[in-house]
């Protein structure tokens, strides 16, 4: 691989091409430069800057309170930590739902100011699809998001699997097709029965990215603090923890505190 190829920034088109070759896509949600650098070095296909930062970073009980300025800030520092990765930024509540004009303005601003390579919009109704189509015409790649959409948590009755009944399943499939027709390059399926997610994945030409949606999706996404075992209060059925870093953090800080109180740190090796 040439130096030019190594330095080339990944794009939404790369995800589509990988999925078309049958390669499973790996997406991780991260919020800062430090972790973005580590995630990119591990070889993920894309980094999602999720508005879940409201829950994970800010301690909110939903994503509804997250602002566009906050999303731009976090997307900017993620891009700084992973300059060649495909960075996708979530568009937060009220940035695209009110009008197509708002969607174009806010998505354009998010990409312009952060350097992200794509945006993600929740929902698949007519207004959401119109927003997706307009943003795509602007030249900004858009990832869709169906199933459990956190910005609609109150209307959906909480953190619940979506599409369990025939009507809900048919609506989700229709929404997925609508997003594809509008130009979305991929669709996240969150908290969707595995059988339904398989049907949606089969019906779409663009890749699906699952989170709590079974193994038939074209890729999977997890939030980094969740998969690292840092976010101990979050333990849904779909989550597999690949580390227990909360234990490591507590142990490291405890040992630091013990050394300080005992006068063992700093010692001669750690002093000028």
Which distant-in-sequence residues (6+ apart) come within 8 Å of 229 by Cβ? 241, 242, 243, 244, 245, 246, 247
The verdict on 168 and 268 lying in the same domain is: no
The verdict on 265 and 133 lying in the same domain is: no
Cβ atoms of 82 and 103 within 8 Å: the answer is no
Our count of domains for the chain comes to 2
Question: Closest by alpha carbon to 84, among 141, 46, 111?
Answer: 46
Which distant-in-sequence residues (6+ apart) come within 8 Å of 68 by Cβ? 91, 92, 95, 106, 109, 110
pTM assigned to the model: 0.95
The verdict on 138 and 269 lying in the same domain is: no
The verdict on 221 and 134 lying in the same domain is: yes
The verdict on 249 and 237 lying in the same domain is: no
The verdict on 272 and 231 lying in the same domain is: no
The verdict on 234 and 251 lying in the same domain is: no
Residue 272 is part of which domain span?
244-272
Q: Would you name the residues annotated as active-site residues?
A: 190
Give pLDDT, residue 132. Answer: 98
Q: Average pLDDT, stretch 233-247? A: 96
The verdict on 203 and 251 lying in the same domain is: no
Give pLDDT, residue 234. Answer: 93
For the chain, the average pLDDT equals: 95
Q: What is the pLDDT of residues 135-161, one digit of tens each?
A: 999 999 999 999 999 998 888 878 899
115: domain CATH number is 3.20.20.60
Alpha helices in 119-244 (DSSP H): 126-138, 153-156, 166-182, 194-203, 224-227
């Amino acid at each position: 691989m040439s130096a030019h190829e190594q330095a080339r920034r990944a794009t939404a088109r790369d995800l589509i091409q990988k999925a078309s070759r049958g390669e499973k896509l790996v997406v991780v949600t991260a919020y800062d430069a430090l972790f973005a650098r580590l995630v990119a070095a591990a070889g993920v296909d894309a980094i999602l800057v999720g508005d879940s930062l409201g829950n994970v970073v800010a301690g909110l009980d939903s994503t509804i309170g997250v602002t566009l300025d906050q999303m731009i800030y976090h997307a900017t520092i993620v891009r700084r930590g992973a300059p060649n990765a495909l960075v996708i930024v979530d568009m937060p509540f009220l940035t695209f739902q009110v009008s197509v004009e708002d969607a174009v303005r806010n998505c354009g601003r998010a990409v312009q100011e952060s350097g992200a390579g794509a945006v993600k919009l929740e929902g698949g109704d007519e207004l959401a699809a119109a927003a997706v189509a307009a943003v795509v015409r602007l030249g900004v790649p858009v990832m869709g998001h169906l199933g459990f959409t956190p910005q609609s948590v109150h209307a959906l009755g909480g953190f619940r699997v979506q599409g369990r009944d025939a009507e809900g399943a048919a609506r989700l499939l229709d929404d997925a097709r609508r997003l594809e027709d509008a130009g979305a390059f991929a669709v996240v399926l969150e908290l969707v029965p595995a059988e339904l997610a398989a049907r949606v994945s089969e019906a779409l030409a663009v890749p699906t990215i699952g989170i709590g949606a079974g193994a038939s999706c074209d890729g999977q996404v997890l939030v980094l603090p969740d998969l690292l075992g840092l976010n101990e209060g979050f333990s849904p059925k779909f989550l597999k923890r690949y580390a227990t870093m909360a234990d490591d953090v507590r142990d490291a800080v405890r040992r630091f505190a013990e050394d300080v109180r005992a006068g063992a740190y700093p010692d001669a090796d750690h002093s000028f």
